Amino acid sequence: QMMADQKQTKSQWFDRLESPLLHYAYGILRNDDAQDVVQEAFIRFFRETEEVSHPKAWLYKTTRNLSIDTLRKRAKRVHQTKEQQLDFLSEVESESKDDPVQELEKQEKVRRVRHSLNLLPKESQKLITMKFDQKMSYKQIADETGLSVSNVGYKLHVIIRDLSTELQEEGIIG
């Protein structure tokens, strides 16, 4: 009976997260590899025998790791064909750049944070935008929104706390 319940909830996770995960993977991979990656993440999720304590975080993390592996393989393929062409210039360029995988991982983390922000309620998004993008003070935000200064502070605190907990679970931030 226990297994049946777990299978049920796993398929509910699939219904809930397939679409956002596809969107997320597509943001990283920019092509149809995204579907393969999300499919693979769910296959691993369904095969997982241990209870997954944070299914959403687990699925995002797995999707991210599979996406980065796919990018690595893609970069390797591109690099090999470049080498075969003895493309001197591209080799010189790649030497001067930082580790491209690290660069991708960094961009990816920024994208993941943006993705989390986009899933927030509109009011929360607006408060975050005012505070971090527009660099407004609590007082300015309060004046603009009609909230009290302490309410602005409290709401921002809760939004940031929840976001950072979610991002920590997903391994985006330490």
Q: Predicted confidence band at 81 (pLDDT cuts at 50, 70, 90)?
A: low
Least confident of 4-13, 33-42, 75-84, 136-145: 75-84
DSSP for the chain, please give it: -HHHHHHHHHHHHHHHHHHHHHHHHHHHH-STHHHHHHHHHHHHHHH--SPPSSHHHHHHHHHHHHHHHHHHHHHHHHHHHHHHTT-HHHHHHHHHS--HHHHHHHHHHHHHHHHHHHTS-HHHHHHHIIIIIS---HHHHHHHH---HHHHHHHHHHHHHHHHHHHHHTTS--
137-168 tens-digit pLDDT:
889 999 999 999 889 888 988 888 888 778 77
Question: Alpha-carbon distance 149 to 142, whole Å?
Answer: 5
Question: What's the pTM value of the predicted model, to 2 decimals?
Answer: 0.49
87-113 tens-digit pLDDT:
444 444 444 456 677 777 777 777 888
> 132 is written with which tokens?
């971090």
> 3 is written with which tokens?
């297994």
